[in-house]
Amino acid sequence: MFVLDSYLLAVIFCFITMLCWGSWANTQKLASKEWRFELFYWDYVIGVLLLSAIFAFTLGSSGSAGRSFIADIGQAEFSNILSAMIGGAVFNAANILLVAAIAIAGMAVAFPVGIGIALVWGVIINYIATPLGNPTILFLGVALVVAAIIIDAAAYKKLPSQTKGVSTKGLVLSVVCGILMGFFYRFVASSMSTDFVNMEAGKLSPYTAVFFFSVGLFLSNFVINTIVMKKPFEGESVSISAYFKGGLRLHSIGVLGGIIWCIGMSFSIIASGQAGFAISYGLGQGATMVAALWGVFIWKEFKEAPAGTNKLITLMFICFALGLGLIITARLG
């Protein structure tokens, strides 16, 4: 299978993860005027599963390192397959809660609370399990990224559309989302061999782990998303029959969103062999700032913001850049 042989390449892969995780939601934004999120989400999980299978049979089955995808499945212990699938189900629940929190409380609450908790909690969990890198530098970098997310929230609160009070339901959903989002990566990581070249018996390769993560995401969607469709957090219920009324364009947008996210997930897991799980996860969750870049420069979300907002946005990106630099340096310290 294809593996990385340097930390520099791992960092590049982590940056691609950040770009993908911070960009996939643009596809939902493109479809949102015609398509409920719950319907979009079915195509999204199909896209994730599709690309994970393609990667497993190509990158995961070529080269001399490790084990090929089929051989890896044949020797895998069921407990590790189940762990990766649980990771998919946990992520599914967290992601749906995040979108619901955004709809109810707005980005100014959902992202700093949900992703802030996920970033800190996820890095702590993954570092305890696999302590690679200087913890002081790593967690200082995480603190700066969290500060950037908080400043991002302060900037969003200045927008005219964000002036309403904080919803208790939205806040609770954000907290639960953050806790779950911080856990999902550990389930996937614990199913894998930490050495991608001389792999442990019974453990999964990164490609096999992402594939079964995607299977867990897909299967859990029949339970989680079906419940949300019948009893949505906000708005009227939606029937599954509405899904089949969507055109090729709408379905393609959803599948593309899943493919983009899965590229990020796959690259993060592949990079963890050199960077460690804590750094791979921490850099990937910097995606919030990538989403902010889309909002600022492409969607012009701050066009009507009052004076002084640009200073907050500048400070946000400074903290973000410094935080990323420290997280990257932590592996060298």
Q: Is residue 315, in this structure, part of any structural domain at all?
A: yes
Q: Is residue 202, in this structure, part of any structural domain at all?
A: yes
Local confidence band at 113 (pLDDT 50, 70, 90 cut-offs): confident
Q: Is residue 2, in this structure, part of any structural domain at all?
A: no
Q: Is residue 127, in this structure, part of any structural domain at all?
A: yes
Report pLDDT for 300.
78
Among 99-103, 157-161, 169-173, top mean pLDDT goes to 169-173
Report pLDDT for 108.
64
Report pLDDT for 162.
62
Report pLDDT for 164.
58
Report pLDDT for 30.
87
Q: Is residue 182, in this structure, part of any structural domain at all?
A: yes
Report pLDDT for 16.
96
Query: Could you tell me the CA-to-CA distances from 301 to 98, 109, 147, 163, 193 in Å, in that order?
Result: 19, 16, 21, 14, 43
Report pLDDT for 22.
87
Q: Give Cα 304 distance to the centre of its chain.
A: 29
Distance CA 104, CA 195 (A): 43
How many structural domains are present in the chain? 1
pLDDT at 160 over 80: no
216: number of CA atoms within 13 Å, CB side? 24
Q: Which residues pair with 204 in a beta bridge?
A: 192
* 298 vs 118: which has the higher pLDDT: 118
Mean pLDDT over the full length of the chain: 91
Q: How far apart are the first and last CA of the chain?
A: 29
Q: Is residue 294, in this structure, part of any structural domain at all?
A: yes
pLDDT at 165 over 60: no
65: left (phi over 0), alpha (psi -120 to 50) or beta: beta
Q: What is the mean pLDDT of residues 45-56?
A: 98
Q: Which residues pair with 192 in a beta bridge?
A: 204
Q: What angle, rounded to 10 degrees, do the helices at 135-157 and 277-284 form? A: 20
Residue-wise pLDDT for 193-219, tens only, equals 999 999 999 999 999 999 999 999 999
* 171 vs 43: which has the higher pLDDT: 43
Spatial neighbors of 66 by CB under 8 A, at least 6 apart, are 1, 3, 72, 193, 196, 197, 199, 205
Cβ atoms within 10 Å of 239's Cβ, excluding its own: 11
Spatial neighbors of 47 by CB under 8 A, at least 6 apart, are 254, 255, 256, 257, 258, 259, 260, 261, 262
* 167 vs 239: which has the higher pLDDT: 239
Residue-wise pLDDT for 270-310, tens only, equals 999 999 999 999 999 888 788 778 877 777 777 888 888 88
Report pLDDT for 258.
96
Residue-wise pLDDT for 136-155, tens only, equals 999 999 999 999 888 888 88
- Lowest-confidence range among 24-28, 240-244, 259-263, 281-285? 24-28
Q: How many residues does the chain have?
A: 333
Residue-wise pLDDT for 5-36, tens only, equals 999 999 999 999 999 998 888 898 888 888 88
**Which range of residues forms the domain containing residue 300?**
7-330
Report pLDDT for 322.
94
Residue-wise pLDDT for 56-89, tens only, equals 999 999 988 899 999 999 999 999 999 999 999 9
Phi, psi of 192 (to 5 degrees): -100, 155
Local confidence band at 332 (pLDDT 50, 70, 90 cut-offs): confident
pLDDT at 166 over 60: no
Q: What is the mean pLDDT of residues 50-55?
A: 98
Q: Is residue 247, in this structure, part of any structural domain at all?
A: yes
Q: Is residue 1, in this structure, part of any structural domain at all?
A: no
